[in-house]
């Protein structure tokens, strides 16, 4: 059960991170292998920078791919070099979402 979690509002980071944790706990308990990704675009990218109150290191260095939209970064004048370690930049967030869904990923937007 591959899944992509979509976040575009900074205030929803705690909910998304809890959902990802619960998802991984379920996968582990049921011995299911899956790819898990978080795609951040819109205002949610502002929390992806180093020094943010939202610490993405645990998920980014674990078994979750955290992707950040380059367009959203550019619109907010955020340099990619200022992102927290382990994050991946994708050119267009909505394209990433569409490609993952086309590849069979479930889409979750808390």
pLDDT value of position 58: 84
Q: Is 29 helix (H, G, I), strand (E, B) or coil?
A: helix
Q: What are the two backbone dihedrals, phi and then psi, of residue 26, each rounded to the nearest 5 degrees?
A: -65, -45
pLDDT value of position 60: 85
Instruction: Domains for the chain: give ranges and CATH numbers.
Output: 3-108 (3.40.1260.10)
> Are 63 and 96 a contacting pair, CB within 8 Å?
no
Alpha helical stretches, state H, 1-110: 13-29, 57-60, 70-75, 93-102
> Which residues of the chain fall below pLDDT 50?
none
Give pTM, 2 decimals. Answer: 0.94
């Amino acid at each position: 059960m591959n899944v992509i979690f979509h976040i575009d509002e900074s205030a929803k980071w705690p909910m998304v991170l809890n959902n990802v944790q619960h998802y991984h706990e379920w996968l582990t308990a049921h011995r299911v292998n899956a790819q898990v990704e978080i795609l951040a675009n819109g205002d949610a990218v502002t929390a992806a920078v180093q020094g943010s109150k939202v610490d993405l290191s645990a998920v980014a260095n674990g078994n979750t791919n955290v992707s950040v939209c380059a367009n959203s970064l550019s619109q907010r004048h955020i340099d990619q070099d200022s992102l927290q370690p382990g994050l991946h930049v994708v050119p267009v967030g909505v394209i990433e979402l569409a490609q993952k869904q086309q590849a069979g990923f479930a889409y979750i937007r808390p």
